[in-house]
Amino acid sequence: MPENEQPVALVTGASGGIGTALCDDLAAHGYLVVAADIGGAAPASAKHAVELDLRSGDSCRAAVAEAVSHAGTVDLLVNNAGINARGATETMPEEVWHDVVEINLNGTFRMCQAVHPVLSVDGGNVVNIASTGGLVAIAGSAMYGVTKAGIIQLTKILSLEWAGARIRVNAVAPTIVPSPMTADVLENETYMAAKLASIPLGRAVRPEEVAAAVRWLASPDAAMVTGHTVCVDGGVSVL
């Protein structure tokens, strides 16, 4: 099948743990995957790789343009890239707060804005990776939680604003996922015991489970789903 007959997915943060799972899953289910990351790294399942700095609107627009140049279009944008910084809010340096907001929330906004002209031609999908930290309060994760709550609200607003262009915008909110971002706490037995005790189903989320939720939201089976956040959290958000 020619490249331009495949649905094209642009995945940010593609070289991370969840990002790799997203690229692998989408490629396995017929997508041509364009991987976007700060260093231009990409998993083997991606057809193309583009460099992306979410702190720059020009970089976001260039990444979308390069994806279109490589693959002909973009049908699905997955805003997966993000960073975290844990610690007490009262002692958190302002520049650290700024960095998390700049990447997670502002970067998601920039990518949504950059891809809109492409998606508005024939319709398409945006799936934002949020977190249960954006729905429930988690001590020591103020910056991350606030940015993910903002992403959830942005998802709702864009779903309303872009419905007329047949662009569906949804989000996936996982609880803790083993990945490089969570490596600092995965080895902390005290932290993990408390975290797992807060998850009714009693375990962390596998990256592949996040990817499956993203794929469903972008699929024709979810054609009437927009503005929603699907929680892949073992019941955390219902408590």
Q: Which residues are catalytic?
A: 144
- Listed residue (192, 186, 156) closest to 171, CA to CA: 156
Which residues are paired to 35 by β-bridges? 11, 49
Single-letter amino acid, residue 84: N
Sign of CA dihedral 154, 156, 161, 166: positive
Tokens 């729905």 label which residue? 135
Provide the 3-class DSSP secondary structure of residue 96.
helix
Provide the 3-class DSSP secondary structure of residue 122.
helix
Which residue stretches of 31-188 are H helix?
A: 57-71, 94-100, 107-122, 142-161, 183-186
